[in-house]
Chain A
């Protein structure tokens, strides 16, 4: 009906409390939103608002306690499901907060790891991996082990490890959280550049309002737990965007003010 690639309907996730009389504590409750194909959506919310819980549900490494998740018109997750399908047959990529590179594989072997386990590591895949390494400035570091690379390089590697197998939906959980401001700005620009070329559907969680606006077509603001969507903001800033000059634009500052009022 709609051409939304990802739809979340009345999603809920509850955990057992550790009190004397165990009860259910709802971290996410009655959350609904949808993401169109090729859209870049950022999600922002106070800490402890269940952002990671939400991404774990969407990436299917966790199952909801209520509600449904639909991908491309197919119901893929609901409370009655017994077994999760992590990554939904490689249709959903997930760039986690930690880079989660395998310490015993060198950079190139880490980047092509998904292709290898999917049995798709051919000359073409190798070429794509090299092109991505080139795009993020990692060419020449293929043989390095993760511990020999800087935090920013590891982060880039973990992002292109997801891009290399081309999942239609990519989830990102504060991927630039632990980096210094300069590296952050670099990586944000890199990400926008890659997205402009590939036009993936991206759902990007952050707690940084500037980042949330700068990257997105649309910003979803989460409420405090039990979390639902508190508000939604279309970012009407022209692309391509220069992230470092964005801050001075009136449209940006107005939006920033509006969202800041709601996040607190």
Chain B
């Protein structure tokens, strides 16, 4: 029965996909392919840039900025709340600044980072890292706060020291929260990198969008958008797989959640 339900979802997804393509094709016919490249010509263009290596080189630049930014922002995003829980006073002092940092739209900081770090990859990494850091920080902290007092007491009575409690109890307990933070942060990281490239860059997928648009090459814009979309979907699947692997101990999630995480 579950399989049947899943089968229906897949079937309906194909229908929605067809509808989107049809709508796109219709828009292309109405507006003219000069303004809206047709799905077919976009696909041809995509194969083109894939074959001549342009896509690989631009996408790898964007991905590099994204990945480095995720690591540089994510690692302290996990570490800072783990450390701060031992200094409640410091945490109380920093609180409004962390909330403010979380609230500032990172796109608005991007021009500043470009001025400071230049138009190279450093400015993209900085924007991505600043976005990822705050998202991961707040979700990790939610995980620490949700830690079950009973488990910690049990471990202390059983003879565990502070480090063992952090490693065996606090961290695994916070992990689902940390991972759901990354699930939000990763697509955000990709779009942060792309947007910063849009503002100023000479490489990357954002640059591809920008330069194609400047050349009135709408097909190029669509090709780049398609690539960004595919990368986001792939990244989402990667995070979901990592989550499934690290959280294998969890009760099976309801089907609906499972599907949305993979698809």
Chain A residues proximal to chain B, CB less than 8 Å: 59, 61, 86-87, 89-90, 92-94, 96, 98, 100, 102-106, 113-114, 117-118, 145, 147, 161, 165
> Which of A98, A104, A113 contacts B158 (CB under 8 A)?
A113
CA gap between A106 and B250 in the complex, in Å: 11
Residue in A94, A102, A103, A145 whose CB lies within 8 Å of B157: A94
Provide the residues of chain B in CB contact with A96, threshold 8 Å: 150, 153-154
Return the chain B residue nearest A158 by Cβ.
B154
| Chain B facing A: main interface SS | helix
B150 surroundings in chain A (CB, below 8 A) = 96, 98, 100
Q: Beyond the given A87-B157, A96-B154, could you list 4 further A-B residue pairs with CB under 8 A, ordered by the A residue number?
A: A96-B153, A100-B150, A100-B153, A102-B151
Contact residues in A for B164 (Cβ distance below 8 Å): 117
- B158 to A: closest C-beta gap in Å: 4
- Chain B min CB distance to A63 (Å): 14
B172 within 8 A of A: yes
Please determine whether B159 and A87 come into contact, CB atoms closer than 8 angstroms.
Answer: yes
Asked if B63 is at the interface (CB within 8 A of a chain A CB), the reply is no
Report yes or no: A90 in contact with B159, Cβ–Cβ below 8 A. yes
B151 A117 Cβ-Cβ under 8 A: no
B249 lies within 8 A of A89 (CB) = no
Chain B residues contacting A100 (CB-CB under 8 Å) are: 148, 150-151, 153-154
Which A-chain residue is minimally distant from B158 (CB atoms)? Answer: A114
Q: How far is the CA of A154 from the CA of B124 in the complex (A)?
A: 50
C-alpha spacing A180/B169, complex, angstroms: 30
Q: Is the interface of A mostly helix, strand, loop or mixed?
A: loop
Q: Is B96 positioned at the interface, with any CB of A under 8 Å from its CB?
A: no
Of the A-B pairs whose beta carbons lie under 8 Å apart in the complex, a sample of 29, sorted by A's number, is A59-B157, A61-B153, A86-B153, A86-B157, A87-B157, A87-B159, A89-B159, A90-B159, A96-B154, A98-B150, A100-B148, A100-B150, A100-B151, A100-B153, A102-B168, A104-B172, A104-B175, A113-B168, A114-B158, A114-B159, A117-B155, A117-B160, A117-B161, A117-B168, A118-B158, A118-B159, A147-B250, A165-B158, A165-B159
A103 touches B249 (CB 8 A): yes
Q: Using Cβ atoms and an 8 Å threshold, which residues of chain B touch A113?
A: 155, 158, 168
Distance of A260 Cα from B160 Cα, bound (Å):
41
Q: Name the distance in Å between B172's Cβ and chain A's nearest Cβ.
A: 5
Report yes or no: B172 in contact with A87, Cβ–Cβ below 8 A: no
Q: Tell me which residues across on chain B come within 8 A of A102, comparing CB atoms.
A: 151, 168-169, 172
Given contacts A61-B153, A100-B151, A117-B160, contact A147 B251 (CB under 8 A): yes
Shortest beta-carbon distance from A115 to chain B in Å: 9
User: Given A100-B150, A102-B151, A147-B251, do A93 and B157 touch, yes or no (CB 8 Å)?
Assistant: yes
Task: State A181–B100 Cα separation when bound (angstroms).
Answer: 55
Interface residues of B in 191-231 (CB under 8 A from A): none
B151, A145: Cβ atoms under 8 Å? no
CB nearest neighbor in A for B164: A117
